[in-house]
Amino acid sequence: GEDVEQSLFLSVREGDSSVINCTYTDSSSTYLYWYKQEPGAGLQLLTYIFSNMDMKQDQRLTVLLNKKDKHLSLRIADTQTGDSAIYFCAETPFTGGYQKVTFGTGTKLQVIP
Amino acid sequence: GAVVSQHPSWVICKSGTSVKIECRSLDFQATTMFWYRQFPKQSLMLMATSNEGSKATYEQGVEKDKFLINHASLTLSTLTVTSAHPEDSSFYICSARDPRSTDTQYFGPGTRLTVL
């Protein structure tokens, strides 16, 4: 079945850039997402990218997609302590009426003041 | 973005009782909602897909009689954990698919269930 892999933990200093990486196996992935989960809360959609795009930028967030290598990354510029959370990568093929999303294991980002 | 709410946020119940969790899409109509379960320090596991007006589709290994799902309207889906046991303690998250927004799923804040 589909598989989405992420590293478990990342620690950066406040003001530095963070790069969270994700690899996936499903070649039919059409939509790829990044979600943020703060402690005790649900998921918050940060951004998404279509598989026909290489890059998407949204304020401090930059998503890079290497479709050939099935590699997705999320770069957070000028990382702040409020960015400390777990970040989930997710993918889904477009199947019309039924959309099953496969999530990665999540990367815990720790921002050191 | 679209807003999805869940109620309650946190519930503690005794073993053997049933607990109902509500998921509502507040500003859009969702023909499809999803229920996830998250174990501590782990990723989300899709439990079932809830379709308005029809029976839910359960993922392999999820007990239909244990986790009852009802999607009675375009803005409300409920998950009932029947005869709850301590191993059912978990974080339950729902999401709703917004057909106006490239079918992106928007997630509720989650419900923490603790079964004593």
Token representation of residue B75:
């803005």
What is the pLDDT at residue B102? 59
Indicate if the pLDDT at residue A95 is higher than 70.
no
Quote the pLDDT of residue A64: 96
What pLDDT, on the 0 to 100 scale, is given for residue B44? 81
pLDDT of residue A8: 86
Q: A51: which residues sit within 8 A by CB, 6+ positions away?
A: A29, A30, A31, A32, A65, A67
Distance (Å) of CA B18 to CA B13, B33, B45, B49, B115: 8, 21, 21, 21, 10
Of the candidates A40, A100, A106, the beta carbon closest to that of B46 is on A100
Bridge partners, residue A73, by sequence: A21, A64
pLDDT at residue A96 tops 60:
no
Which chain B residues are within 8 Å of A48, Cβ to Cβ? Answer: 102, 104
Please tell me if residue B97 touches chain A, with a CB cutoff of 8 Å: yes
pLDDT digits (tens, 9 = 90+) for A42-76: 788 899 888 888 999 999 999 999 999 999 999 99
Report the pLDDT averaged over residues A11-24.
94
For chain B, residues with pLDDT lower than 50 are none
pLDDT of the residue at B107: 87
Mean per-residue pLDDT for A83-101?
77
Give yes or no for B80 touching A (CB within 8 A): no
Check residue A51 and give its pLDDT: 85
**Which residues on A lie below 8 Å from B34 (Cβ)?**
101
Of A35, A99, A105, the CB nearest to B103: A99
Rounded average pLDDT over A23-42: 83
Give CA separation, A3 vs A22, A66, A83, B2, in Å.
Answer: 10, 16, 26, 28
- How far are the Cα atoms of A11, A82, B61 from residue A48, in angstroms, in the given order? 23, 21, 30
Query: How far is Cα B99 from Cα B31, in angstroms, rounded to an integer?
Result: 8
Question: Position of tokens 């050939």?
Answer: A68
Instruction: Compute the nearest-CA separation of A60 from chain B (Å).
Output: 18
A43, A88, A99: residue with CB nearest B97:
A99
More confident residue, A41 or B55: B55
Which member of A41, A98, A101 has the closest CB to residue B105? Answer: A101
Per-residue model confidence (pLDDT) at position B17: 94
Q: Is A53 on the interface with B (CB under 8 A)?
A: no
> CB–CB of A99 and B57 under 8 A?
no
Q: Are the beta carbons of B43 and A97 separated by less than 8 Å? A: no
Query: Would you say residue A99 has pLDDT above 70?
Result: no
Q: Which tokens go with A24?
A: 């996936």
